Amino acid sequence: MRNLYDNALYISDGACNPSGICHTLLATIAELREAGESTEDNPALALMVHQLAHITGALALESSLNGAWTKARETCKEKANEYGQRRPAGEGS
């Protein structure tokens, strides 16, 4: 298995499979925890999350000028209501 920092570099070089990035991200978090290392402010995690945000269009949500965040929230609310799976605000998964 690649080391977690090499994985982060590989992903940030242009990985385009959200599922693969998520699996690697979860494995990296588990690896850091097992090693007793913090998952806060970890550069490997930051690169992986950044690439995931890039390929999903989530980086556009950063700009409050374009209303993308609000639109994404409204769309998710509509879809959640369609499936009847709304949790109260603030309730985790």
Q: How far apart are CA 5 and CA 78, in angstroms?
A: 38
Q: Residue 50 corresponds to which tokens in the numbers above? A: 């950044």
Does residue 49 sit in the same domain as residue 9? yes
pLDDT value for 14? 94
Residues 34 and 73 in one domain: no
Q: What pLDDT is stored for residue 85 in this prediction?
A: 63
Task: List the chain residues with pLDDT less than 50.
Answer: 1, 93
Q: What is the pLDDT of residue 84?
A: 72
Q: Which of 4, 93, 18 is nearest to 55 (CA)?
A: 18
Task: Give the model's pLDDT for residue 4.
Answer: 85
Instruction: Identify the pLDDT of residue 16.
Output: 96
Global confidence as pTM: 0.71
Do the beta carbons of residue 48 and residue 7 sit within 8 Å? yes
Amino acid residing at 29: I
User: Which residue range is the domain that position 25 belongs to?
Assistant: 4-56
DSSP-derived 3-state class of residue 50:
helix
Residues 52 and 16 in one domain: yes
Nearest to 13 by CA among 46, 40, 47, 37: 47
pLDDT at 1: 37
Into how many domains does the chain fold?
A: 2
Question: What pLDDT was estimated at residue 33?
Answer: 93
Sign of the torsion formed by the C-alpha atoms of 72, 47, 39 and 36: positive
Whether 9 and 51 share a structural domain: yes
